[in-house]
Amino acid sequence: MIKQTLFFASEVSLSLRNHQLVIQRKDSDEVITRPIEDIGVIVVENQQVKFTIPLLNELCENNVAVVFCNGRMMPQSMLMNLDSNHTQQEAYRQQVEASVPMQKKLWQQIVASKIRNQSTLLNKLGKNGGLLRPYYQNVLSGDTDNREGLASRIYWNELFGSGFRRQREGGNPNAMLNYGYSILRAAVTRALMGSGLFPAFGIFHRNRYNAFPLADDMMEPYRPFVDEIVFDLYANGNDVLENYVKQQLLGVLTADVRIGEVTRPLEIALQQTTASLRKVYIKESSMLSLPSFL
């Protein structure tokens, strides 16, 4: 089932009643309720939004990704359930004990999938995706020759022009990309926790200041789905990260994604991808279920 994504840009009070999220708007008697079991992601942008502790606990128990924005209205942190799967201890041990060759093969699959999706997106947009074909073919174990980085330079130049530089602190479309990736990262983290995996144990990303390196690993093949939305927004004159733009970026969670012969919404595809990672860790499989464009 597709889960709802809720976005709070104005001051509201959020509480719990009968397993329902209760939304009370400021200076209004209107009360809105949503079944918590139907919610997948909550984005809290307004700094005056109020939560009750029972509600936060209920959201955690239902593995809802609650994303909190900072004063610049950019996603900064999220609420994470520390007990979202009944076999977590076993899964954590399997993650820690994963061999270096296994991790290198996982990263090889992830990089090849990411670059292939970048190539497909460029072709879909009428650009020269063929430039990336040599980079996703025959990716080495562990991507030891850094095809991901080399392909990235070509990709961004093709997508937004030779003058574009992908920088976290850069202006639009960088700001839109950052926002979309933050939403995607939260959804990946939620899917990982639901599969009993701990997002702090990464495959490739290992920055000591990064709390969710595994989420950063597993989101890589899904990034082009954000890029497509940003490209369309930017091409249509949207160069300010306003509420309309944010709402469109939140829509990435319902984007059509193909895994094998089956097409499903992105948030459902994430569950399949993270479940396949768990199977690799327990040696039931050697291949990840990774996304592709239609």
The residue behind tokens 């390196």 is: 213
Per-residue pLDDT of the chain (294 residues; tens, 9 = 90+): 778 999 999 999 999 999 999 999 888 888 999 999 999 999 999 999 999 999 999 999 898 989 999 888 888 888 877 665 555 667 778 888 899 999 999 999 999 999 999 999 999 999 999 999 999 998 999 999 999 999 999 999 999 999 899 988 887 899 999 999 999 999 999 899 888 888 888 998 766 556 689 999 999 999 999 999 999 999 999 989 999 999 999 999 999 999 999 999 999 999 999 999 999 998 999 999 999 998
Q: How far apart are CA 64 and CA 3, in angstroms?
A: 9
pLDDT at 89: 67
| Spans of all domains in the chain | 4-79, 88-281
Q: What is the mean pLDDT of the chain?
A: 91
**Residue position matching structure tokens 């091409």:** 235
DSSP 36-91: GGGEEEEEE--TT-EE-HHHHHHHHHTT-EEEEE-TTS-EEEEE--S--STTHHHH
Q: Count of residues for the chain?
A: 294
- What confidence tens digit (pLDDT) does each residue in 13-35 have? 999 999 999 999 888 888 999 99
| Fold designation for 4-79 | Ribosomal Protein L15; Chain: K; domain 2 (3.100.10)
pLDDT of residue 280: 95
As assigned by CATH, the class of the 88-281 domain is: mainly alpha
Q: Would you tell me the crossing angle of helices 100-124 and 223-235 to the nearest 10 degrees?
A: 30
pLDDT at 209: 55
Which pLDDT score is estimated for 34? 95
Whole-structure pTM value = 0.88
Q: What pLDDT is attached to residue 207?
A: 62
